[in-house]
Structure formats: structure tokens, C-alpha cells
Amino acid sequence: MPKIVRFYEYGGAEVLQIHEEALRAPGPGEVRLAVEAFGLNRSEVSFREGKYLEQPDQLPSTLGYEASGVVDAVGAGVTEVSVGDRVSTIPAFSMKQYGVYGESAIVPATAVAAYPNGLSAQQGTAIWMSYLTAYGALVEYGQIKAGDVVVITAASSSVGYSAIQIVKAAGAVAIATTRGRAKRQTLLDHGADYVIVTEEEDLADRVMAISGGRGANLIFDAVAGPLLKTLAKAAAPGATIFVYGALGPEGGTPFPLFAALKKGLRVQGYTLFEITSNPVKLAPAKRYVYDGLAAGRLAPVIDRVFTLDQIVAAHRYMESNQQNGKIVVTVP
């Protein structure tokens, strides 16, 4: 019987439990994976805490968006995926219905895609969430172009590193932010043109200095909260601030009204589901990722690898904010 991770109550990492469960058959339109690895995301921490955009319909609940593995069963009506295919999951489903933490996972057939043969299972589980999140904001909506100045907050996350790579691929300037100096050199080593250490430097002043007084054309923000006002100060006239996360302290996100009026700013809430739930937008997004991986413009950054029996430690590590890139869990 496969081992599956569930939580029976909301709370810290310790609520995650591993149990052996009967192997289930996929339903119509679904596929089942023999999981080789799965990636961790902040959304799963929030889901476990009961603070995500959605909550489970009932407990216990599974969780997880990203897994790589081999298809070992397909449901009725599935023609685009076959048993034996090596795939990874695209976050195109609700964790209220599906979860991938464990040795076996069932997901919609439309939410799996082959990953390049040159990638390991660990790398295969680290591409879709991070690259599609950054792609949607910067390429699909932001229409990034050469010469643009782009600020990326919380840049040491897997999404942050993916954004840096996408910015560089476009010929734009990547300004990464991080709270302390510990991650500064790693961000530079992975392609950031500039790194602003926010505990030591004034973010808005530094962006203005880097941009010659113009400000940032695009801002890709995972933090929100009071930082939004600072980002508005750093923005160029007509800039767009994409807010895709809420890592900032609880207590609300004040809208930077006067800066928005003065500069004509757009503050846009965004999630990757705007891309993954729309087949018309998803197709070119997948092609962008495939082409970028093949050309070497994109390369997933793996920070640390845990094993399935270390799932609690893996979640605690994510919450420590020490990581640089993707945290992956391997399944024996």
C-alpha cells in the first residue's frame, strides 16, 4: 500500500502525518502516478495552516501541487497520456480535490506534461509552478522587453529564481531583493544584475539609482503588506506591480493611493491559475518553458532534497526562509 501524507487538523508542520492507504484507481479523465519526487510550495504551507485562498472541504486532507513520476494507470476517456509516460504535474487543479504528497498520486490528465529527458525527477518537479508563475506575470501580462527594469521581491524562492532567468532571457535588468546579506551572493551567482539587501539599504532609493531615476517598469512581488508602498515609490510612471503572494506580516496591505495616482500605476493581483486554467494561455506558456529549458535559458534551481519520511522537517525548513530555490522531497 502506498504511503500518503495527510493532515488531520490545521497547524504547524507537525500536523503532517504519513499513512499507508489502499491503492486507488483513477476516475474518468484522471491519471495515477507512481511518484518519484514532489516539490514544496508556500501555498501548501498556507493550505496546511488553513490560511490559503481555499480550505479543504473536510479533514483529513491531502496536499501538494507538484510531483514527478511515471504514469501507472489511466482513467476512462484519457487518450493524451499513456501508462509508462514520464511526467510532472502542472498546478491546474484544486488541493481541495487532489494532492500529490506521497508515493502515489491521482490528478487530472490535463494537469500532467512530459518533462525533458535531460532533467532528473527532482528537476522535473521544479519547473511548472515556478516558471508558469513568473511567465504569466512577466511575459503574458507584463509584456517584458529588452531594457526593462524589473524588481523581484523574495527573490531566493524557486519562483524568484525563475523570474530572474525570465528577465535575463528577455534582455531586461533583474533587481532581486532579499532581507539579509546571507543570500546576496547566491542571487548574483544565479543571474541577478543587482541585489538589494532590504535590512541595510533603502529599496526605493536603490532602484532609482540603478535605473537612473526612472524607476522599475515591472515589479514582481510575493510579499505585499506595508512593502507595497515602498514598491510604489520604486516604480516608474505607468509601471505594473504584480502581487502574487502575501508573505508580509498580517494586518493588511495598504494601497499606495497617492503614488498610484501620481504615476498612473497598475497594482494587479495575480496567480498562475490564470494561465493553467486557460488552455489558450497554457499552450504557449508550456512552449516557452520547453524552449527555454532546451536552450539553457531556464534551469531549475534546487536548494535541498529531503526524503518522504522527512516531510515535517522539509516543511519546517521552508518556513525558516533559509532556502535558495526549490525544496524537493524524494520518494524511494
For the chain, domain boundaries: 3-127+300-330, 131-273
Instruction: Tell me if 3-127+300-330 shares its fold with 131-273.
Output: no
Predicted confidence (pLDDT) at residue 250 exceeds the cutoff of 90: no
pLDDT of 95: 97
Q: How confident is the model at residue 197 (pLDDT cuts 50, 70, 90)?
A: very high
* pLDDT tens-digit series, residues 138-147: 999 999 999 9
Q: How confident is the model at residue 253 (pLDDT cuts 50, 70, 90)?
A: confident
For strand 326-330 and strand 30-39, is the pairing parallel, antiparallel, or unpaired? antiparallel
Mean pLDDT (the chain, rounded):
96
* pLDDT tens-digit series, residues 99-113: 999 999 999 999 999
Angle CA 298–140–125, to nearest 5: 40
Q: How confident is the model at residue 252 (pLDDT cuts 50, 70, 90)?
A: confident
**CATH code linked to domain 3-127+300-330:** 3.90.180.10
* pLDDT tens-digit series, residues 47-94: 999 999 899 999 999 999 999 999 999 999 999 999 999 999 999 999
Predicted confidence (pLDDT) at residue 247 exceeds the cutoff of 90: no
SS in 3 state form for the chain?
Answer: CCEEEEECCCCCHHHEEEEECCCCCCCCCEEEEEEEEEECCHHHHHHHHCCCCCCCCCCCECCCCEEEEEEEEECCCCCCCCCCCEEEECCCCCCCCCCCCECEEEEEHHHEEECCCCCCHHHHCCCHHHHHHHHHHHHHHCCCCCCCEEEECCCCEHHHHHHHHHHHHCCCEEEEEECCHHHHHHHHHCCCCEEEECCCCCHHHHHHHHCCCCCEEEEEECCCCCHHHHHHHHEEEEEEEEECCCCCCCCCCCCCHHHHHHHCCEEEECCCHHHHCCHHHHHHHHHHHHHHHHHCCCCCCEEEEEEHHHHHHHHHHHHCCCCCEEEEEECC
Predicted confidence (pLDDT) at residue 28 exceeds the cutoff of 90: yes
Is 131-273 in CATH node 3.40.50.720?
yes
pLDDT of 46: 95
Q: How confident is the model at residue 116 (pLDDT cuts 50, 70, 90)?
A: very high
* pLDDT tens-digit series, residues 168-184: 999 999 999 999 999 99
pLDDT of 231: 97
Predicted confidence (pLDDT) at residue 249 exceeds the cutoff of 90: no
pLDDT of 307: 98
pLDDT of 246: 84
* pLDDT tens-digit series, residues 201-233: 999 999 999 999 999 999 999 999 999 999 999
